[in-house]
Structures are given as structure tokens and as C-alpha cells.
Amino acid sequence: MTTEQSTPRVALVTGASRGIGRAIATALAASGHAVCVNYRTQADAAQEVVDTIAKAGGRAVAIRGDVSKREDVDALFRQVQESLGAVTVLVNNAGITRDTLLLRLSDDDWDAVLDTNLRGAFMCTKAAVRSMIKARWGRVINISSIVGLMGNPGQANYAAAKAGMIGFTRAVAREVANRGVTVNAVAPGYIATDITEDLPAELKAKVLEAIPAGRFGEPEDVADVVAFLASDSSRYITGQVLNVDGGFVTA
Ligand code: NAP
């Protein structure tokens, strides 16, 4: 039996003003979703994403909100509901890094990364899933990282948050699978965005050597996979982690 969603599709993409989130928002708009472009600080960049979507004939709104803050998350979901309707596709993409070796890692840098990347995903998912269950259709897509699978020196906080997202994905997937709601994670490898731009050149060259596809990823490589997971075509896939990494991790 297949269940196709009939109500309008409303996608909330957290952290969609730049990078991977921007590409995801654009791809979901192109596949017919009304899109909320969430951002934390860069209002102009978020508005540019909205304008680009509108120019292509799509529908989008930019809404500010820090996903690590309870009051911001509540306000974000209220505003999406008022402007577009109930969220049917949630992409937990907002993420930050505060890289340093464990012995130098401060409590603040631990908390900042866990609060945005993991607690933010928890709060947004909880807010979205209620109406998805009621509608008996929904998609939650968590943007994790291959660092959450492999670990990486200097990223204990980020690796813990991204691994946490994978456990969270698997647990919630099992809770809501019989309600037409799927919950999956995407684990990007090295994707060319602001987050990776500042890495030292020697490190970039070393990473490139280890990517079987022979190139870094583009945000669109991730966005296309998210668009598939957001669609009816992925209806029997839940609790999974899809690596989008050019073959970097194969186990
Ligand atoms: P990016 O270019 O640095 O963009 C980060 C986005 O997240 C921005 O839109 C930023 O908003 C938003 N953001 C940050 N903190 C937020 C908060 N507290 N609340 C709401 N929005 C917030 O990052 P990216 O490379 O596109 O990464 C996107 C996601 O993919 C992250 O979860 C990252 O961990 C993951 N990822 C990236 C790579 C990679 O190689 N790039 C690899 C694996 C996983 P403002 O513009 O307003 O600051």
C-alpha cells in the first residue's frame, strides 16, 4: 500500500541562508514545496534565497530563529504555521563547528555545538512531528555528517552532536513509522561551503586524495538526496543514514 500526501507541502529548512541549507531550500521549492528559509543572523542572505525561489516561480518566506533557543523555536513554528501552514517536511540542517583538540575544548564550545546541532534538531522535530502524525504524512531529514560515523581529531563536540543525531533519527523513526512519518539522516562528506572554506590548504589536499570520486561535494549533491527523502518515492525508507560523500566512507 502506498500513502500519498494530499495537503499542501510545507518545508522548513533550518539554517537555509547559506551553503547546504540554501541548496536544499531551493531544491524543495523546485519540487513544489512552500519553503521556510530559516536563518540565525544573515537576514540579507536569507532574503536572497527567498527572492531566487520566487523568481523561479516558487513560494518561500525567510524567518529568523536560533534553533538552540526554546523561545525562538516556538516562535519559528508559530510563524511558519501562520504564513505557510503546518510543516510537512522538516530538514534539520542548521549547524556550527567550534573545532579544537579535546584538552583545549571549553565547556562553552561543547555546549554551543551540542545545543545548535543536536538540541536544535530535537526541539524542531518535536514541534513538527505532532502535526505530521495528525496528517499521517511527514518527513524529517537530519543533516548529520560522516564525522558522526568516523570521528575526527579536533571535532569531539561536533562528532558527538552528529553521532547523536543518528541515534535520535533511528529512535524517532521507530516511534512514528506506523503513522506515515519517516525520519532519516543524511551524512555529507566534505562539501564546499563556508564551514569548510577556512580549513588549511594542506588538510584540504589530503582530504581530496581520500575521496574516491576525486572531487569535493557541492551543496546540490546533498540537496538532491534530501529532495528524494522528502518525496513520496522514499516512503518505505526510514531510520536510515545516507552518506553523500563521493565514496569516502564505504563500510
Ligand atoms: P554553513 O555554510 O556554515 O551554513 C550554516 C547555516 O546554519 C547558515 O544558514 C546559518 O545561518 C545557520 N545557523 C547556524 N547556527 C544556527 C542556529 N543556531 N539557528 C539557526 N540557524 C543557524 O554550513 P554548511 O556547510 O552549509 O552546513 C550545513 C549543515 O551540513 C550543518 O549541519 C553541517 O554540520 C552539515 N555538514 C556540512 C558539511 C560540509 O562539508 N560543509 C559536511 C557534513 C555535514 P546564518 O547565515 O544566519 O548564520
Structure confidence by residue, pLDDT tens digits, 7-39: 679 999 999 999 999 999 999 999 999 999 999
Amino acid 208: pLDDT: 94
Does any domain span residue 233? yes
Residue 45 belongs to what domain range?
10-240
Query: How many C-beta neighbours within 10 Å does residue 216 have?
Result: 17
Q: What H or E segment, with its residue span, contains residue 166? A: helix 156-176
Return all residues near 244 (Cβ < 8 A) that are at least 6 apart: 186, 187, 188, 189, 191, 217, 221, 222, 225
Pocket (CB within 6 angstroms of ligand 1): 14-21, 38-42, 45, 66-68, 93-96, 116, 143, 145, 188, 190-191, 193-196
Does any domain span residue 3? no
Q: Going residue by residue through the chain (251 aa), what tens digit of pLDDT does each one get?
A: 556 665 679 999 999 999 999 999 999 999 999 999 999 999 999 999 999 999 999 999 999 999 999 999 999 999 999 999 999 999 999 999 999 999 999 999 999 999 999 999 999 999 999 999 999 999 999 999 999 999 999 999 999 999 999 999 999 999 999 999 999 999 999 999 988 888 889 989 999 999 999 999 999 999 999 999 999 999 999 999 999 999 999 97
Does any domain span residue 245? no
Task: Give burial (CB, 10 Å; 0-12/13-18/19+) of 248.
Answer: buried
Q: How far is the CA of 143 from the centre of ligand 1 (A)?
A: 9
Does any domain span residue 123? yes
Number of domains in the chain: 1
Does any domain span residue 122? yes
Catalytic residue flag (residue 158): yes
Does any domain span residue 230? yes
Instruction: Collapse the DSSP code of 158 into the 3-class scheme (helix H, G, I; strand E, B; otherwise coil) and give the result.
Output: helix
Q: How far is the CA of 12 from the centre of ligand 1 (A)?
A: 14
Amino acid 5: pLDDT: 63
Does any domain span residue 251? no
Which CATH number do you get for residue 30? Answer: 3.40.50.720
Q: Are strands 241-244 and 181-188 parallel, antiparallel or unpaired?
A: parallel
Best residue among 12, 39, 142 to mutate for probing ligand 1, ranked by most atoms within 8 Å of CB = 39
Does any domain span residue 210? yes
* Per-residue DSSP letter, 103: G
